[in-house]
Structure 1
Amino acid sequence: MPRLMSSLRTALGAGVLLLALGSAGLAVRAFQAKQRAAVEARIAARQEPVLTPAPGPAPRGLPVVAPAGVEQGGVPRGHVDGVALRALLIRRQFEDLTLAVEQLQWGMESNPQDEHWMTDGIQALGNGAPDSAELLDAWVEASPRSFAPYLARGTHWVNVGYLRRGTRFVAATAEEELAGMRKAFERAVPDLTRAWALHPKAVAAARPLIHVANALGDHENRERVFARAAEQCPSCADVRSVYLHGLTPRWGGSYEEMDAFAEAQSRAHPELGFLRGFADWDRAHDPRVEDDNDRALVLLAQALSAGDYWEFRLARAKRLRGTGALDAALVESNRAVALRPARADVYFERARILASSQKWGPAGEDLLHGLRLEETDANGRSLRPGVVKGLVYAAYEQHGAGHREEALRLLELAGELAPGDPEVARWRTRVVTAPSQEQAKEEQAGMPEDFRAVQQRDYALARERRFAEILPLWDAFLARNPEHGLAYLERSGTHYHLRNLEAALSDLKKACDLGINEGCARARQLEQARTTIR
């Protein structure tokens, strides 16, 4: 009997141990699943657009803001209009888009100083926004013999790769993030290679290929890509800048290598003298200098002594903002915008400086422009909530001071940045329905001609649910002003309340087509609601 009891205790002990091990295994698997879910959510959040902007008008002719040339002080006058290029893509005007990109390429070949037209234009087209993937596929199908759509689509997938990876050091980056990056790069490289094969002088393909090589630690391929680009364009600055980024210590290079490369390039092409400043620019970003603004500013001053380059100015603006020297920071950011006006980065930084100075209107305008270029940008994501609140606060102050039109302008800008925000909508209603001298004049005249007057009459009638009386007001106004996007947005609400969903959706799409972000957002919501009901 004692021996039997001992055997039972041994068996029970083993069973308890097995149960404990099984429970521990379940707990580990549950923890791992939770971690994977957190990583996947992080990846998805980075790729989610901060804002899906309206397309805006399509350009007429070459999408360049001003003619090529250089102003006094060496600031390029001309720059590509990335928003206009994206408008062609979103509108599926693929023939015009192909011609526009090919013209930008021809311009660069005749004048390598215009390289940034191609660099920034392709970045705007391939900015990594999720809604661009299907559009770029359709463009490739429409123009399979041109290098342009392959270059844009390849750049898109490189940007998607970096969005999936995030900006942390490798040790702090999850394997799922690195795997997602590699998968995106696998889609990018064939397109970029094909673009370069179709047009051997399309050195804009080299920049994303070098980015891929740096991220994968493939130094041999990086050297091969750069050598080919340098042969095709001996004085191109952008491709040399991105190559220098890959020579920084964080990517396995050294400051000695950076200095040697910059010196050799500057001797061959004196206009590339600014490359000598890259080593000091990178030193200013060293984690050991993170909390030492004085040291960083000295290093950036040394970088700028080599040449007035936009990235140096941008870094200096950030550092000055960090010290609270907002006026000086604004001067630097203005210079960065002047040097590279088609880059989203410069607008986000200037928006941050303006927001810190509580200059909410200009901050909102810069933020909106930046998001039209880079709608998934982390800077735009972090900036938007504060800027929208600041715009509402500024509108409240303007309204209190009797500046109704300025208050509404600020609220409309807030609505563009945050379509459907209930606080923005409440304040807009409050300001619109407040009595004004303009309203009295229009009512005496018997025919409201001004948009604000019609809008105010609309809101007053809507409170009494007299929607049938509102519709003729907007019909008459739009007959006189057929390109007024906000009027279509307002009339859509009247159609909605009259249960004419088709007319409401048509007006929302027209508002979106005329560049009103809120029209686009509401159109998507209405279409989703109709699909759900069906």
Structure 2
Amino acid sequence: MSSTAPPIRAEFDPCVTIPSLADLRAALRDDDWATVEAYFEFLEHEEDRAVAARIVDGTSTSQRLLERTVAAQPRSALARTLLARRYIVVGWDIRSSYRAEHVSREQFRQFHEWLRRAEQLLIDVCAEYPDHALAWGARLTTALGLELGLSEARRRYERLAEHHPHHISAQSSLLQQLCPKWGGSWEEAHGFARACLESAPPGSHAGRLVAEVHLERWLDDSDNGHSTYLRSAGVRDEILAAAARSVQHPDYRPGFDWVHDHNTFAGALCLGGHHREAAPFFRTLGDRATASPWHHAGDKEVQFLKHRRTALSKG
């Protein structure tokens, strides 16, 4: 892509980048369970299934289809798991993304009620299918929301990792719990991100975790005023080293989540003022964007376009 005339827009819809996801969304809206089920069976990689599941999560009309399917096919692991994930979304929407002190008692009551409904479905799926990555990944989210603690979250992750040792979506979920805002520590969070990268084969998605934990620390510092955390040369160098071992490695397999990978690296660098180093990620992305991390700095589209323009002018 030419750096002299980038498109003046940002595309946030993953169905545009991955056209087959648009077919999945259409099947959900058409109440076509057979096509939804066939789509998930067609996907070869668990990381891609996790991205496809997020399309289901975000389609509000899917809940009706999933409830009807579970009633008709009560042993369907996929239907139960996707319904549980939809219940988690409903609960989290009620809770909101605010810190706990800004969430009412009634919000918490409803939030926990929806998560317990999801958890019951997921417990049964995981008991019947111990290698079901989508279900174990969702149970990391319920563990977080139900405040079951770090030990239980780690146990759930380890059960998933027995069968899927480099599952980026699950790793990202556990990373959240390891941050101080959910009862962990920066030492644990950084240590986990680095260990995931070191243990994964070159070209894995795991490098993104290093950028994510630095972004989380920047956000935490930003709560106390303007943060300069990401401006550190040491932070910049660690992010670049992680990118070299992951998205910039010859063995990198983009998969469905490649836009998320590149936006995370670009954002972590730009928000630290390292625009020249972020330019290669923007050249790969073109107009494809994700809400995170840009929405943390203001309007997501404005921030993406502004930082892309600066990066491409410098790099």
| TM-score, structure 2 as length reference | 0.70
SS of the aligned residue for 1:286 comes to helix
Unaligned runs of 5+ in 2: 1-14, 248-260, 308-315
Q: Which residue of structure 1 lines up, in the alignment, with residue 105 of structure 2?
A: 175
Which deviates the most, 229-238 or 143-152? 143-152
In the alignment, what sits opposite 1:202? 132
Supply the distance in 1 between the matched residues of 2:96 and 2:168 (Cα, whole angstroms): 27
Q: Secondary structure at the match of 1:284?
A: helix
**Which of the numbers 148, 153, 163 marks the counterpart of 1:218?**
148
Shift of residue 345, structure 1, vs aligned partner:
5.1
Return closer, same or farther for 1:241/1:311 CA change in 2, 3 Å cut-off: farther
Q: SS of 2:271's equivalent?
A: helix
Deviation at 1:242, TM superposition (A): 1.4
Tell me what 2:242 maps to: 306
- Between the two proteins, the alignment pairs up a number of residues equal to 269
CA contact (8 A) 1:277 1:305 kept: no
CA contact (8 A) 1:126 1:159 kept: yes
> Bigger radius of gyration, 1 or 2?
1
Tell me whether 267-276 or 120-129 shows the greater mean CA deviation: 267-276
Higher relative contact order (CA 8 A, sep 6+): 2
2: distance between equivalents of 1:256 and 1:346?
22
Give the deviation of 1:199 after TM superposition.
Answer: 3.6
Letter in 1 for 2:216: D
* Partner SS state of residue 264, structure 1: helix
Aligned to 2:120: 190
Structure 1 pair 259–330 and aligned structure 2 pair: CA distance change class (3 A): closer
Contact conserved, 2:218 with 2:230, CA < 8 A, in 1? yes
Q: 2: distance between equivalents of 1:167 and 1:331?
A: 32
Contact 1:154/1:191, CA 8 A, preserved across alignment: yes
Instruction: Give 1:281's aligned residue.
Output: 215
Report the counterpart of residue 147 of structure 1 in structure 2.
Answer: 77
Q: Which residue of 2 aligns with 1:458?
A: none
- The residue that corresponds to 2:176 in the other structure is 245
- Please say if residues 206 and 226 of structure 1, whose CA atoms lie closer than 8 Å, have aligned partners that are also in contact: yes
Equivalent of 1:315 in 267, 274, 285: 267
1:212-361 mapped onto 2 (5 Å cutoff):
212-219=142-149, 220-271=151-202, 274=207, 275-288=209-222, 291-292=225-226, 294-298=228-232, 299=235, 302-307=238-243, 308=247, 309-310=261-262, 312-313=264-265, 315-316=267-268, 319=271, 335=284, 351-353=301-303
TM-score by length of structure 1 reads: 0.44
Contact 2:264 2:293 survives alignment (8 Å): no
Residue by residue over 1:112-164, the C-alpha shift from the partner in whole angstroms, topping out at 9 and shown as x without a partner, is xxx321111111112262x3321221232344333211111111111111110
CA deviations 1:325-380 (Å, max 9, x no partner) are: 8x998975675689xx79665898763347779xxxxxxxxxxxxxxxxxxxxxxx
Structure 2 CA distance for aligned equivalents of residues 314 and 154 of structure 1:
33
Q: CA deviation at 1:218?
A: 0.9
Shift of 1:314: 5.8
Matched, 1:83 2:33: no
Kindly tell me: are residues 255 and 177 of structure 1, through their superposed partners in 2, closer, same or farther at Cα, counting changes over 3 Å? same
**Residues 79 and 185 of structure 1: is their aligned pair in 2 closer, same or farther, counting only changes over 3 Å?**
same
Match of 1:451 in 2: none
- Tell me the alpha carbon deviations over residues 422-462 of structure 1, each in whole angstroms, 9 at most, x when there is no partner: xxxxxxxxxxxxxxxxxxxxxxxxxxxxxxxxxxxxxxxxx
Identity of aligned pairs, percent?
21
